[in-house]
Each structure stands twice: as structure tokens, then as C-alpha cells.
A and B are shown apart, each in its own frame.
Chain A
Amino acid sequence: MEITVKTSDLVKELGLGQGVVEKKTTIPVLSNVLIEAKDGRLTLTATDLELGIESTCPAQVTKPGSTTLPAKKLLDYVRLLPNAELALKVGDNHSATVVCGRARTRIAGMSRENFPELPKMPATLTQIPSATILNAIQKTAFAVANEESRYTLIGALLLIKEDSLTMVATDGHRLAYVKADGSFTGVSGEVRGLVPKKALNELVKIASEGGDSMAIDFATDENHLFFRCGSRLLICRKLSGQFPDYDRVLPKDAGTTLTLNREELTAATRRVGQFADERSRAVRFELLDGELKLAASGSDAGESEESIPVEHSGSKLRVGFNSQYILDFLAVAESDEVLLQLKDEESAGQMQLPDPKGYEYRYVVMPMRV
């Protein structure tokens, strides 16, 4: 194999694969990126067996061929080269010689025979606008569980119907739900899949790289989801197992609705949260006549309270929440105002945007005993 390629192209494509490549793997070849050259294009593939990214860039192919090279080492090196043309030549022992200007380096590789074969993308089922999926991921991914034991919660549910795309994530304490309108021709009935957190992150990367107006080709087979974004393809294995029945969790009656300034609520929650118990991060929300009072007293450092004026009279209630959970929502809500709905100390609170365009967003948080 013998090619010439722009260093800037190579850096960009290698960068996309880095998130997938396993840092600590028991299978050495998975630390490598598969490099294939033919028909004027260079194709790079990285996988951790759960997730794979395939991307291509133009290259001058003198002699087609392939090899695998250590992904991190290759990127670290190429990144240091000036923006210029780079010649890459693979010898008999899978290692590559990289020449750029007066720099000349040999990088040890491994046979492509050991590199796992990625599933082939079936025919495109439907197209998803980049902006739609980016919005859905951004507003839900933070609620995905980190813990291993709740296996089905370590991914977000993606549910596509002919006229809507729904994404739901929960860690057992809170749940984020986005339902976006759209026209997904080609989908009959519904398509659903559990997307692992890592895949969500990678999907954000390749979708952002393509720009907001881009459409993503979506396809699925029995075990995989395929997202093609221009010259880049993300393949992820669906998580198996049953995602919880989120419909049951979304409150039918969320109680009293308060309209709050997002920045004001964020600042108050942050300040009071400084004095919450470090582990539980519990902050009390107390609804009184004309004010919402936030208070924390869990830490040895002291206690703090703050009140936000609200239009409310009549019923009083007091409920505790993990302040981080509240901040997580406020960080992704881009509107000036947010809705906070409270019922009682044992029922879930709900947060929403006042008037989202073209989608529904609900965030449900279970209270804490305080």
C-alpha cells in the first residue's frame, strides 16, 4: 500500500476514531485503527466490538492495500506534523513508513487479518435530520446511568415512528424524555433500540462534524444500529434487555407549576448547593406564598438559604432534590424561562421548557427525603 494524504484530513478522521479505540484492551489489535486505501480514498476503521466508526477521506492511492496501526500513537504523531502532504507506505511486515517533508518515521503495525470484520450497513431505512438527533441526545444523555448493574439503563432508548423520534434516558432516580416531530418515511410501525452512552457521545461527534443541516442515514439490523453521516459511519450494537416502561413514570398530574427564570434558578441552586451534604447534594425546595425557598444544611461547613419570588398562593409544600439533578436540566435548557412542577414530598417533580419548537421535553426527578 502506498498513498499520499493531507495531514489535516488524517488528523480529523483519526480524531473521530479515538473515542472508540479501547485504551485498555485485552485484544491488542483493538488499540489499532484499520487503514485501507483504494479508488482514491483512504478508509479508517476503529472498533471496540460494541461500537465501530468507519470514515473516509480523499487520498492519492498509488498502490492499494491495507494495514492496522496503533491509533493513539499515529494520531499523536501526525498531529505534530505541519499541515502538508504526507506519504504513507506499508511494507511486508505491516509496519508503515510515514514521510512528511524532512520527517521520516516507521510505525509498527499489525496484520489486518486479526482486525474484526464490522457488519455491513443494510439499505437506509429513513433519514434523521442532524439537528433533531443532536437535540434529543443533548437533552437526555446526561440522565443515562453509569452503574453497570442496571444494564438496560446504561443506554438511551431510541424510538422512531413515522412522525416522531423519541429518546428516553433514566438512571432510576430521574428520567429525561424528548419527543421530536418529524417525517421518517420508510418506518412502518416503530423502530426501537437501546443506544449505549458511548455511542451517543460518538454520534454527537460525527453529527456535529457534518453540520446542523445534514441528514443522517439510519438503518438497523437485528443486533445493530447504523448511522451514516456523509463519509462517516457509526455502527453500534444494540443493548439487549427491556428498557423500563417510561410511560408509567411520566406524571399524569405534576401538581403546581412554577415559571422560573433559568439563570436565577441556576445561580440560586448552585449557591445553596455549596452547603448541601457532599454526597447526597440534597437541597430543600419549599413553596410558600409568593416565594420558592431553597435551603441546604447537610454539611459541616454551614447552611444556606435563598428565596426566589414566584407567583403562587395557597398550598404550601416542601420537597428535597439532589441539586445536581436540577442543575443538569438547567444546563441543557436553552430557554430564558423553565417550568418547575411540584406535587408533594413523595412524588416526582417535573421540569419542562415553556414553549419548545417542534418537540416535547420532559424531565422527571424523584425527590429525596430531607
Chain B
Amino acid sequence: MDAFFVSVEELRDPSLKGKPVVVGGKGPERGVVSAASYTARKFGVHSALPLRTAYQLCPQAIFLEGNPKLYREYSQKVHDVMRRFSPKVEQVSIDEAYLDMAGTERLLGRPLAAAHRLHEAVTAETALPCSIGIGTSRLVAKMCSDLAKPNGVLSVEPGAEAAFLAPLEVSRIPGVGRVMQSKLEEMGIRRIGQLQGLNDNALGRFGQWGSALAAKARGEDGGGWFDHAVGARELPKSISHETTFGEDTADAVLIDATLAKLVQLVARRLREHGLWSRTIQIKLRYTDFTTFTRAKTLDEATQLDNVILETVRRLFRENWSGRKVRLLGVQAGSLTDPAGQLGLLDEDERKKWGRLLAATDQLRDRFGESAVGLAGAMKHGRRERIHENPAGLPGKTKDEG
């Protein structure tokens, strides 16, 4: 989707069209930009930029808090359209998805024709602009769609991948960030074509990343989440939520409420994925940005709020210095399929909790996240925020509250 959050905001209020719009917060407060309109981007504002910096760059922009619920509704609408085009849809973030079109030619025509029909369908049903890239790999498709923006369709024919990529800058490759870019620059490499010319040894010093990078330069999927098949059920390695306080705090009650809230979010996602976790980790960042993570491995895997919260509270108690806290995070790791071992002493109680939490999950599905929760979490007036294409990774979202 093109400038997804902003496009949705423009639908709600057409007067925003063509103006610099920043979604993420009401002004130069703490937090980061979650989306910026194309007009705002001309001033150098982009997502993940601190709001204060965005304000300095573009004080005339219209700053909006955003409307996560509405964005999710539109995301779901687009998803429904995509499902009509392919059974294999892999949604990688709220505004980005891959479709495996193999075998759909008889039904929908050649990929380029199908893409135009998809584009028309999305426009007809949501009135939102989107861009579609077509390629023989997800990598090429993604890079095409980036180049097709705004509101375009671009296809690279099979066999033409390397030639298409050659003139592009290496930073266009998903996964090549500022650090990698500067390392490559030290080697004199700026364009993807130069990467293609290297033998595999030259990238050997980057280890696994090097071989993935060489594959990417040729237009192939490789490395990280590119490794598995489109639409294959992917198990996240960990599930985490974190939150930054509006104002740093040493208020034990507020901190405890925040932990409870984070635990609730993590446990809910565990249940959504049908996963149990054995390793619970907390993340703690103080005002001076010193950051600690501390983990505990449980005797048996769990997906229950109360068990995770108990562990999180203990980890926090044992590790908090009493100083003001800037950020808190909770992570559930060592994820496994259903916990097998039945308990001797507390099986009835565990079953009761399981049923109770299944019921609260249903309530939240119907009435929203804050419909019901642990009493301890209520003191935390956490505002939900979501981001366009956060890290592109499953099982990872970030909340700023």
C-alpha cells in the first residue's frame, strides 16, 4: 500500500490531500513517526523518525495520532481482495503482502494482466492507492513495487532480473541498512551490478549474510524470512511487546501495570499462534539509555497470562535498580507447540485459566483490546500505536505509548 496510514486518513478527511501529513503523534512529543505523506517525505520526514525531529524538519505538517483500528480494518479489506487472486497470500505487515501466482494463469491471465486486475479491485473496493511489483522472487517483486510507487504496477520478466537490478543502488536491497551500505562502500561497491560481478569469496567476510547478499544481488530470495515458501505457516522465534513511557517513571504501581499490560499482549499472541513459551524475558531501559535484558526459563511451557506475569514480576523485582525507567519490554521465547506434560497438582486450575483466557480473547475480538484484562493492567493508560511495515518480520511489533 502507498503511504497506507496517510491514505486512510485522507479518505476520512479529504482536505488532507496533498498536504504534509505525519501520523504518529499530535506534535513534537516523545515517540516516532509511523507514517508520512509523500508531501511530508519531501522534507525528509520518514517513518521511524523521532517525532521531535520530524517537527523540526517540517513544522507546518499536520500531525495526527492515528487510528490503528481503522488501519487494521482497511488492511483486512485489502487482504480479502488478495485472497480472491491467490490461495497463497503472505502478509508481512499491515500494508505489505506477497502473493504466489503460480498456477493461476488460466484463471487470471498472465501475471501482469492479473496484477492490473488486482490493482483495479483494490482501488474499487477501498479507494486506496497501492503499488504492485511482479518478479520470479519475492525480492524482485518487492523492489519492483518500491519502484512502481505511487499507485503503479511494474513487472520484471523472467531472466531479466540481474539486468534490472544492476543499475540500482545497493541500499535498495531489503536488509541492506546503513551499516552494510557503508561497509560495501568501503569495498567500493555502490550499485547492485558491482555486487553481481564479485565472486562469492569477496563477500565471505559477511558470513551467512554474504551468501544471502550475493543471492539477492542476482534477484533470488535468500536470508532471513526470504528462506521459506510463500504462505507457509511460519513459527515466530519469539513474541515480544515493548513500550516507552511518555515520561520516564520510577512509579512502581505504574510500572507493574505496564508490565501486566505487556504480558497480556504477549500471552494473547501466543494463544493466537497456538504456541507455548518456555523462556520469558524482560527488557528494561533507564533514562540514560542503559538497557538490560533478563530471562528466565520455566520448568514447563506456558501461554497463560498469570504464569508469565508472575515470572515477569520476579525478573523485574530482582533486577530493577529503582531508577527511572524509560522503556519496558516483555518477550516470550523458546516457543513450542502445545505443552504436553499434564500437571499433577494444579491441572484443574490450569484448565480453568485456559478457559477463562479463551473467553477473554473472544471478548477482545468483539469489543476491542481494552474490553477486558488483568485488573493490575488497568492503571496503565496505554495508547495503542501501530507501524507500517515495522521490521517486516513476523512476531515482532513495537508499541509506543
**A residues neighboring B (CB under 8 Å):** 145-147, 149-150, 170-175, 244, 249, 279-280, 282, 320, 322, 346, 348, 364, 366-370
Contacts and interface: CB of A to CB of B under 8 A. Distances in A.
B207 interface: no
Given A249-B344, A369-B342, 17 more contacts: A145-B299, A149-B310, A150-B299, A170-B345, A171-B299, A173-B300, A173-B342, A173-B344, A244-B345, A249-B345, A279-B336, A320-B340, A322-B341, A364-B344, A366-B344, A367-B342, A368-B342
B345 A172 contact: yes
B310 A366 contact: no
A243 to B, nearest CB: 10
Interface in B329-388: 336, 338, 340-347
B348 to A, nearest CB: 11
B340 A368 contact: yes
B340 A366 contact: no
B315 to A, nearest CB: 11
28 contacts: A145-B299, A146-B299, A147-B298, A147-B299, A149-B299, A149-B310, A150-B299, A170-B344, A170-B345, A171-B299, A172-B299, A172-B343, A173-B342, A173-B344, A174-B344, A244-B345, A249-B344, A279-B336, A346-B342, A348-B344, A364-B344, A366-B341, A366-B344, A366-B347, A367-B342, A368-B341, A369-B342, A370-B340
A364 B346 CA distance: 15
Most buried by A among B299, B340, B347: B340
Contacts of B344: 170, 172-175, 249, 348, 364, 366
A244 B343 CA distance: 13
A348 B344 CA distance: 8
A280 to B, nearest CB: 5
B346 A366 contact: no
A147 B297 CA distance: 10
For the complex of A and B, 3 pairs with smallest distance between CB atoms = A368-B340, A366-B342, A147-B299
Contact of B340 (A147, A172, A174, A280): A280
A369 B310 contact: no
- Chain B, interface residues (CB within 8 Å), range: 10 to 19
Contacts of A174: 344
A335 to B, nearest CB: 24
Contacts of B341: 173, 280, 322, 366, 368
Contacts of B347: 366
Interface in B296-340: 298-300, 310-311, 314, 336, 338, 340
Contacts of A368: 340-342
Contacts of A282: 340
A321 to B, nearest CB: 9
B360 to A, nearest CB: 23
Contacts of A175: 344
A320 B342 CA distance: 10
Contacts of A279: 336
A172 B342 contact: no
Interface in B215-248: none
A237 B366 CA distance: 53
Contacts of B299: 145-147, 149-150, 171-172
Nearest to A298: B340
Interface string B150-191: 000000000000000000000000000000000000000000
A364 B342 CA distance: 12
Contacts of B346: 172
B338 A366 contact: no
A249 B338 CA distance: 24
A279 B334 CA distance: 11
A174 B300 CA distance: 14
Contacts of A320: 340
Contacts of A249: 344-345
B340 A369 contact: yes
B338 A369 contact: yes
B318 to A, nearest CB: 11
Nearest to A345: B342
Contact of A173 (B298, B336, B343): B343
A177 to B, nearest CB: 12
A370 B343 CA distance: 15
A370 B339 CA distance: 10
A145 B343 CA distance: 13
Contacts of B300: 173
A322 B310 CA distance: 26
A295 B343 CA distance: 22
A47 B298 CA distance: 30
B263 to A, nearest CB: 16
Nearest to B311: A149
Contacts of B340: 280, 282, 320, 368-370
A75 B373 CA distance: 58
Contacts of A145: 299
Nearest to A367: B342
Contacts of A149: 299, 310-311, 314
